[in-house]
Structures are given as C-alpha cells and as structure tokens.
Amino acid sequence: MKITSIQARAIDCGFQTQKLQTSRVASPMSRWPQFGENRSSWMWPSKKVFVRIESDDGLVGWSSTNGGEVVAMIIEAHLSRLIAGTTVTDIADVWDQMFNSLLPNDRSGFSMMAVGGVDIALWDLQTKTKGVSLVTALGGGAADLPVYCTTTQPGAHHNSDWWGLKAAMPYGPDAGHHGFQGNVDCMGAFRDAAGSGGRIMLDSFMSWDADYTLRFAIAAAQHDLYWNEDPLPPYDKDGLRRLKADLGGSTRLALGNFSFTRWDCAELIREGLVDILQPDVAWAGGITECLRILDMAKAADVPVILHNTCEQPWALALAAAKQTDPVVEFVDRGEGSPLYGLMGAAPVFKKGRVMVSTDISGNHPPATIAHQVADHSSAKLLKEV
C-alpha cells in the first residue's frame, strides 16, 4: 500500500470532564494543594489525537491516541514526512524507522504515543486493504473476554459480574493520617461491593513511596488486595525492589502503564519487579510494539493485562488473538461518555464480559471528528502557523 496522506489532529472529546478526572485521585501532583482535588487541574495535554492515513487506492486507516497538540505536532511535523509517498510492505520496518528517527532527541511517552498512533492507523489501513478484521489479521481469537472495572463508585457495582473491581486511590502520603485512613476505608467499600470472594485492586498512580505502600499493605490486609498498581514513580527501582522483598507476595505489583517500549517492560521483567504487566497499546508504540511486548512477557511467564482496553478496539483484538486466558480493563466514566465510542461502536458488556468486534470495516471515528481531521491537512496547518 502506498501512503498518500498522513494527518493528525488534537480534538477535545471531553476527557477532562470524566468522573475520574473530576474526583479526588492521588497522583504525583497531589502533594501540592492546588492540584490535589482533581486530576484535570494539572493533567498533561488531554485532547485525543486522531490519526488519518490514506493510501493511493482511496482507503483510509484511523487511530486515536493521547497527548494532545504535542503528539499531533510530532506526527504532522516529523513522522509524516518519513512515510508519506512510500509504499509500506512491512509495518514493523516502518515502526523501526519512526522510533530510530526520534532517538536523538526524544524517548518520552509523547513520542511513543505518536509512533503508536501512526502504527495503529497503518494496521487499520492494512486490514481494510485485505478486507479482514484486525482479530482475523492477528490470527483469530475469542468472541468475548472477562473484564475488570476501574471505578470511583464501588456501590454502583455491588455484587456485579466483573472479574474484579479496581479503586483509584484518593490520597497520597502528604494527606497524613486522615488520608491514610481514607484509603483503607476506600478499600473497605470496594470489598463490600465485590463480596468476600471477589477480587479488588487499587491504583496508586505513582503517588506513594515504599514506606507508605508497605504500611498500607499491613493496614488493609483484611481486605485481601489482589494487586497494587503503579504505587511508585517508574524511576524508583530501589523502592520497587524493596516492595518485592518486603511484601513477600502478599500483594501483587501491577506495573507498566508508564512503560513506553519493550525495553522499559524488559527491565521490569528481568529484575522480577512486576507480577502483572499493564502497557497501554496507544502509549507503548502501538500494535507492532505490543506484539513484541506480549511475546516477551509470555516467554517470561508474566501475565499481561492491557491498560484501558475497552476504549481501544485494537487492544481488545490483541487480547483476544494473542493472549491465553486474557482479562481486560473497563474504565467506568459514567453513562453516556463519548470516550467509549471514538473508534466505532461502544463496547457491549454482558455478565462481566465484553464482546470482541470482528467488523471488517475497522476503525471509524464519528463523522464530525472524521470531517475535522480530513479538513486539517499538513499544508493547512503550516499555513496557519
């Protein structure tokens, strides 16, 4: 397939108005009072980035990723000139070209979101060229998958069929004893909602330290926590080593939301720091890189649960086609959230499971978004600047 056009546009889809953004959730920024009450007060560029790639036969591949104007600029000002006008026969080779072109100056999450956005759109274009669904292109897989739910409202999911319930923790160490007890009470509410035999997990969003995490594990031990997700900043490897040694396996560590390449994931696996690996497909370089990550984790016998799976049809396809006994994540953003259906029909849930689409039409954003992106060519962008 010969690429004739690559476009990217950052569009506000209401992310900052979602429940998780407007609730009190612990974060690396919550130590400062002006940023502690809600994540929307400080969150990185939060517009969704829609990527549109057109081939010379008139077919269009779509994807969406995060990172707002920063990621859109990387795609339009840099990555597009590497690919536009070329004939793509090997998407993995294109991935390597994009990644290596960014090495001299950027290996951040923003750059990998940009690479991931282009990669997913290329896969979508390829499946449309072949007239098959992504699940079929990846080898075929399950028709539905078990789901765990991330929510700030455990009472709304009392005795539900979800595989498990995950809490976004409200407080960090700077909230003192009141915050600490609030976190313990939060897990008590989740235990009540899940029942005595249900799985409950927590996401500390890089806001805790090793001492706090260990104290919390003791204080909340009666609630039987299945995992603690990203309790420490990714750079605190010494802290993670201490947690692995001192927790003694009583609580699993779920890491990898902020691992943006296979090399980030390999370090966690190699050092034995991760019990459940959780990369995000749109953040960690797209489908091509996540296939590599899945292969690596399988070889090391480390389970993978792809981050925020149910908002990403390509992540559901990967889980269905490439994982044994997969579990996926649904983020409860409240009823009617536009984020559920940005790349096609909203996911369908039944008895704690999600249906996996085999739609051969692939990714297709709402018409209003498609029009905005198609009307936003690189030439027009440069002219406006």
Q: 376 pLDDT band (50/70/90 cuts)?
A: low
Question: Which strands sit side by side in the sheet containing 3-11, from one edge to the other?
Answer: 3-11, 48-55, 60-65
Residue 260 φ/ψ, nearest 5 degrees: -100, -5
pLDDT at 377 over 60: no
What predicted TM-score, i.e. pTM, was given to this entire model?
0.95
Separation of alpha carbons 21 and 11, rounded Å: 17
Model confidence pLDDT, tens digit, residues 211-264: 999 999 999 999 999 999 999 999 999 999 999 999 998 999 999 999 999 999
Model confidence pLDDT, tens digit, residues 77-131: 999 999 999 999 999 999 999 999 999 988 889 999 999 999 999 999 999 999 9
Separation of alpha carbons 139 and 331, rounded Å: 27
pLDDT at 329 over 80: yes
pLDDT at 199 over 90: yes
Strand 60-65 to strand 3-11: parallel, antiparallel, or no bridges (unpaired)?
unpaired
Question: For residue 204, how many C-alpha atoms fall within 13 Å in the half-sphere facing its CB?
Answer: 28
Model confidence pLDDT, tens digit, residues 153-192: 999 999 999 999 999 999 999 999 999 999 999 999 999 9
pLDDT at 64: 98
Least confident of 145-149, 283-287, 366-370: 366-370
pLDDT at 385 over 50: no
pLDDT at 350 over 90: yes
Separation of alpha carbons 119 and 88, rounded Å: 11
Report which residue type is found at 357: S
Share of the chain above pLDDT 70, in %: 97
pLDDT at 320: 98
pLDDT at 2 over 80: yes
Four-CA torsion 127, 133, 134, 137, nearest 10 degrees:
-70
- Any catalytic annotation for residue 178? no
Query: From the candidates 157, 223, 307, 376, which is the catalytic residue?
Result: 307
Model confidence pLDDT, tens digit, residues 24-79: 999 999 999 999 998 889 988 899 999 999 999 999 999 999 999 999 999 999 99
